[in-house]
Amino acid sequence: MEDKMIIPLYDLIFSISGVVDMVDFKLKDHHEKVAYISYRLATELEIDTKDKKDLVIAAAIHDIGSFSRKDNLERLKFDNYENSNHAKRGAYLVNNFSLLAKLAPIISYHHLDWNCGDRQMIGSNRISLLSNILQLADRISLLVDNDNILANRDKIVSRIKEAIGRKFNPDFVESFLTLSKREEFWLSIINSKLIEKELKHFFVQNDLKVDLAGLEELGQFYSKIIDFRSSFTANHSKGVALTAAHLAKLCGWSDKEVKKMEIAGYLHDLGKLAIPVEILDKPGKLTKEEFSIIKSHTFYTYHTLDSIEALKEIKEWAAFHHERLDGKGYPFRLSEGDLSLGSRIMAVADIFTALTEDRPYRKGMKRKKVLSIMKSMVSNGAIDGSLVEILENNYSFIDKLRKEAQKLEEERKKMLV
């Protein structure tokens, strides 16, 4: 691996929001649309390029703190004064990721009405303005119905006009009214391909150069998002990450590759962000339908990481953990020849962690049972026998490592509450 990897900014931010938008079909393309409307408003308002970039990036991830169907229903309402928890959570997440931390306040206030008394509390005029443009773009996007947009635009315009001075800065609404006269504006905001082209162009010279530490930070950023969604998944991923990294080390991998394997472990269930939290955290037995929804998660892990070329290996190690050597796994139905050692390691680490950790409905299994299940999976053609052998030869050490890491993770979470 080169010392620095290039990650296009556009790909990074939309890989993050894309997966959050998957939770609800009604929100498909929500972030993309809001980012684009913000971009058009900022252009109309002649905001300088630096602020415009910050605004568009913040808009492209503004709802990453929104996780449940309830959150989503709330944020779909036009007037939702009280509903800013997801905004606060989103700001917290972003604040912990150095590449995006400066956007946290814009995200934090994106549901604050213009005439709200607290607006003075923001302290910065710049943040106040940018977050209100985002609020306006967000509300416009909620009113947009992709079917026959030109017939509906007058309705949208009058709804926004009703809230002049109350929800929105009057100058921003003025700019929106100018834009709204152009059919081109309306046709553009429902055209996903066009939006992608224009925004990619806007970010063209903004590639990020990320080293291994930066990549790790990115991995942790993603896993914090998972953590907020489902703390059980985050804890599980911690165990998988350490087990997989240690197995890779025992296979003779270099320190750098081992680190990458650890990052892949944190991300292996990233696609669970696309699964409604009500299903992920359901205490009882899952229905057949719910289980089939859960099974789609590695498909989303793959496609979320797919947009970032620099993450190609990590993506494959992470996303193929439910594939089987005999081709009977899911969702890609890959077989032996397609599964690299890294992907095989992840599958073994995932099964090992799942069996040994405590689950809400059962205690973690003991060595004898774990190994007997895993060996029968080897005989059935599911997983790699040589890796299970390595695991068996180092069982107590790996299990201790996994258990301690998961315990620490548990304690860290308790301290946060």
Q: Which residues bind Fe ion (CB under 5 A)?
A: 63, 75, 138, 269
Minimum distance of Fe ion from residue 6's CB (angstroms):
29
**Cα 177 → chain centroid:** 34
Report the distance separating Cα 395 and Cα 184, nearest Å. Answer: 63
Contact indicator for 340, 323 with CB cutoff of 8 Å: no
At 91, the amino acid letter reads: A
**Residues recorded for the chain:** 417
- Tell me how far, at minimum, the Cβ of 58 lies from Fe ion, in Å: 11
- Closer to Fe ion by CB, 37 or 99: give it: 37
Q: Which is nearer to Fe ion, 269 or 399 (CB)?
A: 269
The DSSP secondary-structure symbol of 359 reads B
Q: In terms of CB distance, is 38 or 180 closer to Fe ion?
A: 38
Which contacts of 178-183 are long-range, i.e. CB under 8 A and separated by 24 or more positions?
178/44, 179/40, 179/41, 179/44, 180/153, 180/156, 183/150
Least separation in angstroms between CB 55 and Fe ion? 14
How many angstroms separate the CA atoms of 47 and 295, rounded? 45
Other C-beta atoms within 10 Å of 102: how many?
13
Nearer to Fe ion, 350 or 384 (CB): 350
Q: How far is the CB of 107 from Fe ion (least distance, A)?
A: 9
Taking the least distance from each CB to Fe ion, the nearer of 5 and 27 is 27
**85 or 220: CB nearest Fe ion:** 85
CB 393, min distance to Fe ion, A: 25
Minimum CB separation from Fe ion for residue 144, in Å?
A: 12
Name the residue nearer to Fe ion (CB basis): 75 or 260: 75
CB of 142 to Fe ion, least distance (A): 7
Smallest distance from Fe ion to CB 235, Å: 13
Asked if 350 and 298 count as a contact pair (C-beta separation under 8 A), the reply is no
Q: CA 68, 315, 388 angle in degrees (round to 5)?
A: 100
What would the DSSP string read from start to end of 168-215? B-HHHHHHHHHHHT-HHHHHHHT-HHHHHHHHHHHTTT-EEEE-HHHH
| Shorter beta-carbon distance to Fe ion: residue 7 or 243 | 243
7 bridge partner residues: 208
| Integer Cα distance of 252 and 115 in angstroms | 62
The one-letter amino acid code at 360 reads P
